[in-house]
Amino acid sequence: MLLTIDSGNTNIVFAVFDGDEVRGEWRSSTTTERTADEFGVWLTLLLGTADLKPDDIDAAIVATVVPANVFTLKTLCRRYFKCEPLVVGEPNVELGLEIRLDHPEEVGADRLVNAVAAHARYDGPLIVIDFGTATTFDAIAANGDYLGGAIAPGINLSLEALHMAAAKLPRIAIGRPTEVIGKGTVSAMKSGVYWGYVGLIESLCRRISDELGAPATTVATGGLAPLFAEATDVIHHLDQDLTLRGLLEIHRRNV
């Protein structure tokens, strides 16, 4: 079985694949202070809840946007699962796409993994929106090449910045307001942040499609993707497992 590890700025997602089937999926907060042994004990216990044990894992692949976590996650795989993990971004890992940028090394591993998964699952050209700590918009050519994209502050970062910078504005939770015109401070904040973000999504998708020169299929992933996918018709597919499926596909291209 394959252990996939997607280490983002906020959460680390661990998933076990048995062929195409996800046997278990778990999340941990991202911290560079947690040791390989702490991850190992925690993950071993969780494997048991899915009737799995460490010996069932015979391969692993890691994608991380936190370089300080690479050593810890490699050690986890070696010590607890007796395998040498593939790490997306290292020279020996083939993605099967061309990165058409001036500085390919600057692209986050998660964005490339999403590009691989989207091209494997949907017809291009494509736009992939990943709602994470930052919200990323990635353009993928019809042949699967990675073309670049845009990075915007994540919706929760925007909410926190609004609260921190304005003395009278409270900290609020994101949600879809029933009305655009807020009748109070909190409802006005919710409307401005939510519908303003929908406007950002629609504008960027339209402009990216214009630059691609053809209508693009838009795929949304990430924790808050369902909240925004229901509000606009520029998002054509909601795919919560896109990054994990991309790791599975990359592993298959390299075994």
Q: Which of 18, 58, 110, 123 is catalytic?
A: 110
Is 13 annotated in some ligand binding site?
yes
**Is 7 a known ligand-binding residue?**
yes
Chain length of the chain: 255
Q: Is 209 annotated as a binding residue?
A: no
- Would you say 108 is a known binding-site residue? yes
232 labeled part of a ligand binding site: no
Let me know if 55 is a catalytic residue: no
Rounded-to-integer distance, Cα 228 and Cα 31, Å: 28
Q: Is 184 annotated as a binding residue?
A: no
- As to burial, measured by CB atoms within 10 angstroms (0-12 exposed, 13-18 middle, 19+ buried), residue 219 is buried
Q: Region of 74 please: left (phi>0), alpha (psi -120 to 50) or beta.
A: alpha
Rounded CA-CA distance 152/232 in Å is 18
Q: Are 180 and 191 spatial neighbours (Cβ–Cβ below 8 Å)?
A: yes
Q: Is 109 annotated as a binding residue?
A: yes
Could you tell me which residues are annotated as the binding site for substrate?
108-111, 185
**What positions carry a catalytic annotation?**
110
**Residue ranges of the binding site for ATP:** 6-13, 133
Residues flagged as binding site: 6-13, 108-111, 130, 133, 185
Binding-site residues from annotation for K(+): 130
